[in-house]
Amino acid sequence: MADYQWQLREQLVADQPVVSIRELLQRQWLLPKRFVHYLRSRRQVLINGEYQSMNTLIHSGDQVTLQFRGDEFRQSDANQYLPTATPHLNVLYENRDLVVVNKPRGQKSHPNEKGETGTLMNDVAGYLHHQAYMVHRIDQQTSGAVIVAKNPIVVPILDRLISRGQIHREYLAIVTGRLTGSGEWNWPIGDDPTDPWRRMVNGEAAQPAQTFYQTLAATEQASLVRLKLGTGRTHQLRVHLAHSGHPIIGDPIYNPGSGEGMLLHGQRQRLVLPFSNEQLEIIAPVPTYFERDLVKYHLE
């Protein structure tokens, strides 16, 4: 018998529509065609313990087993994270396939160099006692909810759910000056030719970018804003807010000298679970320093 590195079993629910195995895998579960090819050619998808052809219809109550040897996944040594020996993680949600953690401000999401430690992905690998798989990231100076996959099977599924806007985060930011009302910004974002660390509206190789905003409280000095990404460009929220004339307080790049740390927090994660498509809302509690600054700027 083949040595399978990953095996996932799913019991189909009572209201499961009658579809073919191929439709279940590709259209309902959003598995890439590459995965489905291996499952078919290697006979690694089982229905109630037996391999069936991809055109076989499945029914409620059926047990579906997906088996993977490990060579089906496009991985590299760069994606191997050295586990933290004693990680301190704020876990917001966890199931068989993923974990949602509340990343603190000041911690990098992932290593940039081979052998680097101390990042969120190192901590998750230590927490899981096996390899972790990055789904998305947030800036080092941003805090809030981050999804990390426990197996490589669900990474492309989560990627597709994010790209479709079914999984998304809402952020809170404290910004400079009085920003009022709500709306959206559609300013393209590209590279700043004068600074490799900066992005800018209408910069080089600019790409479409969409941000939705809603002001929750405002004074002449500062405003509390709820933000949602329509796209996911690098530094998008920071660049759009700075271009609006209301940069984030504490932003070291786009509002230097304005505060001790950046006041941007991914507070609310709308999560869709792979395979079941169950929708959850995950709340990442606001950090204590953020609450103190809400009082400081009279935005509580």
Query: Do the domain assignments include residue 79?
Result: no
Which residues share a beta bridge with 68?
6
Q: What is the pTM of this model?
A: 0.92
What is residue 300's predicted lDDT score, i.e. its pLDDT? 85
Give the separation between CA 101 and CA 124, rounded to whole angstroms.
9
Domain count of the fold of the chain = 2
What is the Cα Rg of the chain in Å? Answer: 22
- Decide which of 31, 48, 68 is a domain's last residue: 68
Q: Which two tokens stand for residue 99?
A: 């974990």
Residue that has been written with the tokens 């899981």 in this structure: 128
CATH label of the domain that carries residue 37: 3.10.290.10
Does an H or E element contain 294, and which?
helix 288-296
Of residues 91, 88, 93, the one with CA closest to residue 282: 93
- Decide which of 28, 51, 68 is a domain's last residue: 68
Exactly one of 97, 139, 251, 293 is catalytic; which is it?
A: 139
Counting as low any pLDDT under 50, the low residues of the chain are 1, 77
Q: Which two tokens stand for residue 266?
A: 């991914």
Give the separation between CA 275 and CA 258, rounded to whole angstroms.
45
What is residue 3's predicted lDDT score, i.e. its pLDDT? 81
Q: Which two tokens stand for residue 77?
A: 């040594």
DSSP code of 48?
T
What is residue 112's predicted lDDT score, i.e. its pLDDT? 87
What is residue 177's predicted lDDT score, i.e. its pLDDT? 97
Query: Do the domain assignments include residue 20?
Result: yes
What is residue 21's predicted lDDT score, i.e. its pLDDT? 97
What SS3 state is found at 161?
A: helix
Query: Do the domain assignments include residue 130?
Result: no
Is residue 139 part of the annotated active site? The answer reads: yes
Q: Which two tokens stand for residue 278?
A: 């169950």
**C-alpha dist (Å) from residue 76 to 71, 172, 205:** 11, 35, 28
Give the separation between CA 116 and CA 81, rounded to whole angstroms.
8
Which residues share a beta bridge with 93?
100
What is residue 121's predicted lDDT score, i.e. its pLDDT? 95
What is residue 1's predicted lDDT score, i.e. its pLDDT? 44
What is residue 15's predicted lDDT score, i.e. its pLDDT? 94
| Structural domain for 40, as ranges | 6-68
